[in-house]
């Protein structure tokens, strides 16, 4: 007898890795949104930590799905490296008015979005590939909106766009987890 998704979640069986990553990204989204509302110098440090955690989550995602296709494994890891580099750059220079820093961050977001869109389009055998592709397009749009804000970037804009991007990526990861859940049989 096959379990329904609801029964599977209530059964105590270990959750799909993307589900946990999605919940983690949505939690980071909420933290980013709240920190954006707080006008504090520590806000930039918190945003840098969120970028670093996002890069770590992307690495975990890459490791989880490396068996699906080795052709995009390197691209996903490079995308995670971009998030980590953006977080490190933000930690190194937390001044929110730096156009160079904003350019680095928007480049990282744009490349990561292109990589996620490419991953989604090359994994059409996965049921929710289109959600991943749309999530990547949204990340590219986030980078483009940051580009439009140059040379007057503000921390609330960076934090707001980052929280939206994290939310969309988290929802995409949860949808991927729900649609690719392995079948479990009752004994």
pLDDT, tens only, 55-112: 888 888 777 766 655 556 777 788 788 888 888 887 887 665 466 667 777 887 888 8
If DSSP codes are grouped into helix, strand and coil, which group holds residue 184?
coil
Whether the bond into 151 is cis, omega within 30 of 0:
yes
User: Is residue 64 one of the residues assigned to a domain?
Assistant: yes
| Residue 25 domain boundaries | 15-179
The sign one gets for the Cα dihedral 7, 15, 87, 45 is: positive
- pTM comes to 0.70
**Closest C-alpha among 10, 75, 46, 55 to residue 158:** 46
Helix axes 155-179, 99-122, angle to 10 degrees: 10
User: Is residue 148 one of the residues assigned to a domain?
Assistant: yes
User: Is residue 2 one of the residues assigned to a domain?
Assistant: no
> Binning pLDDT at 50, 70 and 90, where does residue 137 land?
very high
Give every CB contact of residue 125 below 8 A, 6+ residues apart in sequence.
none
Taking each continuous run of H as one helix and of E as one strand, the counts in the chain are 7, 0
Kindly report, residue by residue over 15-39, the tens digit of the pLDDT: 567 788 888 889 988 988 888 777 6
**Closest C-alpha among 63, 103, 61 to residue 86:** 103
Kindly report, residue by residue over 140-185, the tens digit of the pLDDT: 998 888 888 777 666 777 778 888 888 988 888 888 777 765 544 4
User: Is residue 24 one of the residues assigned to a domain?
Assistant: yes
Domain count, the chain: 1
Q: How many CB atoms lie within 10 A of CB 5?
A: 10
User: Is residue 7 one of the residues assigned to a domain?
Assistant: no
User: Is residue 139 one of the residues assigned to a domain?
Assistant: yes
User: Is residue 8 one of the residues assigned to a domain?
Assistant: no
- Token reading at 129: 């590939």
């Amino acid at each position: 007898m096959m379990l329904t998704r609801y029964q599977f979640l209530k059964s105590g069986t270990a959750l799909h890795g993307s589900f946990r990553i999605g919940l983690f990204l949505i939690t980071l989204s909420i933290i980013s949104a709240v920190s954006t509302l707080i006008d504090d110098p520590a806000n930039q440090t918190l945003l840098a930590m969120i970028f670093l955690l996002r890069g770590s989550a992307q690495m975990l995602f890459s490791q989880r799905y490396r068996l699906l296709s080795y052709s995009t494994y390197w691209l996903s890891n490079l995308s995670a490296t971009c998030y980590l580099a953006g977080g490190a750059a933000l930690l190194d220079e937390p001044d929110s008015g730096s156009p160079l820093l904003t350019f680095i961050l928007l480049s990282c977001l744009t490349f990561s979005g292109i990589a996620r869109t490419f991953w989604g389009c090359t994994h059409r055998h996965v049921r929710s590939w289109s959600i991943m592709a749309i999530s990547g397009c949204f990340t590219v749009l986030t980078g483009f909106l940051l580009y439009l804000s140059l040379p007057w970037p503000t921390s609330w804009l960076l934090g707001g766009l980052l929280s939206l991007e994290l939310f969309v990526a988290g929802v995409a990861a949860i949808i991927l987890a729900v649609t690719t859940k392995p079948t479990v049989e009752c004994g």
